[in-house]
């Protein structure tokens, strides 16, 4: 009994020593006597002691392969330094283990050769402006080529594109010239827009001034017309009232005299008096004396007699 108990204890220890726990998102590739036996997924597994071994532990998470900068020659013979970043994951542990020796190194070399082939078909400007195109082509090529290795390439990104210093200086000069050209063009467009705006403003000001003068002239003309109409209406109203008052002959004569006096008020006035008006003036002696209109006596224009000076020899 004692031996049986010891044997059971030894077997238990051996079993405990050969128990394996595979974590989540990991897989273990096992071999039995050097031959592939099984791929363990996440969970608890028992390894056959002395005959079975774990050949490779693989993670199924997405991984990143950051390649160092490498020289690449473009179609127009410009050497640039380009580094890439490859995002990949392992979808088949058996192919990844037995498909190729050192899969990561193989993926890095394949990435470098593919990049050289693609960039070699493009010129410098095309390489600098075609990042998305290069990324897409490299992803498609690498994904197809690594299927037999159990690797799935998700995407490829060009991390840096570093042209030679001479090219960089030339590009900087070109960019500066382009910016200067744009600045000059923008300034010219700004001056043009300002000139157009000033011209439109002056045009609007002239139009508004002309409209103002026109409205002022119309207002003045309307005012003068209204004033003249009111004067005529007042004159007509005065005549109407005078007619309704039925004035006698004396009042009419006085009105005539007032009109004659107003007509005679002026230095350059020339008055032609009708005969009946002259006769009326003659009948009114007081008005004739006051205004001098009815006086027909010619003025005495005879010069005064010249006094003779006394003769000293004869008048004594």
* Secondary structure of 228-277 in HEC code, one letter for each residue: HHHHHHHHHHHHHHHHHHCCCHHHHHHHHHHHHHHHHCCCCCCCCCCHHH
In the predicted model, is pLDDT for residue 239 greater than 80?
A: no
- Note the pLDDT of residue 260: 66
Question: Which of these, 11, 65, 55, lies nearest to 33 by C-alpha position?
Answer: 55
* Cα gap 52→31, rounded to integer Å: 6
Convert the pLDDT of each residue in 272-306 to its tens digit: 555 555 555 555 544 445 445 444 455 555 455 44
299, part of any domain: no
Domain span at 45: 2-59
The mean pLDDT value for 235-256 works out to: 71
CATH of the domain at 149: 3.30.479.30
Separation between Cα atoms, residue 288 and residue 281, nearest integer Å: 6
Return the pLDDT at 128. 83
Tens of pLDDT, residues 61-107: 999 998 888 898 888 888 888 989 999 999 999 999 998 889 999 99
Mean pLDDT (the chain) is 80
Residue pair 95/148 in contact by the 8 Å Cβ criterion: yes
Residues 159/72, Cβ–Cβ less than 8 Å: no
Instruction: Decide if 304 is inside a domain.
Output: no
> Given this model, what pLDDT does residue 266 score?
55
For the cut 90, the answer to whether the pLDDT of residue 153 exceeds it is yes
Same domain, 159 and 68: yes
pLDDT recorded at residue 1: 65
Nearest to 294 by CA among 302, 284, 307, 304: 284
Query: In terms of domains, do 27 and 51 share one?
Result: yes
3-state SS, residue 314: coil
Q: Are residues 42 and 10 in the same domain?
A: yes
The position carrying tokens 């998102």 is 25
Structural domain total, the chain: 4
CA angle 222, 224, 225 (to 5 degrees): 60
- C-alpha separations of 228 from 231, 232, 235, 312 in Å: 5, 6, 10, 78
Q: Give the end of a domain, one of 163, 194, 215.
A: 163
């Amino acid at each position: 009994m004692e031996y049986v108990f010891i044997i059971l204890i030894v077997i238990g220890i051996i079993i405990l020593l050969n128990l394996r726990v595979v974590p989540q998102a990991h897989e273990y590739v096992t071999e039995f006597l050097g031959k592939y036996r099984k791929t363990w997924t996440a969970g608890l597994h028992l390894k056959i002691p002395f005959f079975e071994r774990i050949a490779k532990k693989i993670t199924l998470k997405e991984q990143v392969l950051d390649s160092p900068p490498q020289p690449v020659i473009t179609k127009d013979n410009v050497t640039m330094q380009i580094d890439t970043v490859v995002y990949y994951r392992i979808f088949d542990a058996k192919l990844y283990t037995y498909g190729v020796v050192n899969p990561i190194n193989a993926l890095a070399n394949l990435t470098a050769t593919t990049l050289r082939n693609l960039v070699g078909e493009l010129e410098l400007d095309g390489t600098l402006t075609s990042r998305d195109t290069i990324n897409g082509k490299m992803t498609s090529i690498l994904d197809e080529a690594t299927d037999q290795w159990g690797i799935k390439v998700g995407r490829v990104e060009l991390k840096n594109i570093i042209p030679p210093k001479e090219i960089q200086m030339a590009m900087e000069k070109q960019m500066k010239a382009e910016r200067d050209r744009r600045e000059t063009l923008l300034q010219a467009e700004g001056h043009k827009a300002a000139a157009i705006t000033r011209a439109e403003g002056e045009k609007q000001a002239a139009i508004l001034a002309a409209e103002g003068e026109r409205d002022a002239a119309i207002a003045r003309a309307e005012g003068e017309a209204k004033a003249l109409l009111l004067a005529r209406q007042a004159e007509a109203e005065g005549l109407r009232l005078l007619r309704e008052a039925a004035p006698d002959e004396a009042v009419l004569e006085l009105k005539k005299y007032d009109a004659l006096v107003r007509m005679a008020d002026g230095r350059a006035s020339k008055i032609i008096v009708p005969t009946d008006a002259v006769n009326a003036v003659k009948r009114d002696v007081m008005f004739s004396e006051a205004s001098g209109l009815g006086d027909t006596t010619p003025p005495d224009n005879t010069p005064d007699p010249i006094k003779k000076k006394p003769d000293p020899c004869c008048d004594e």
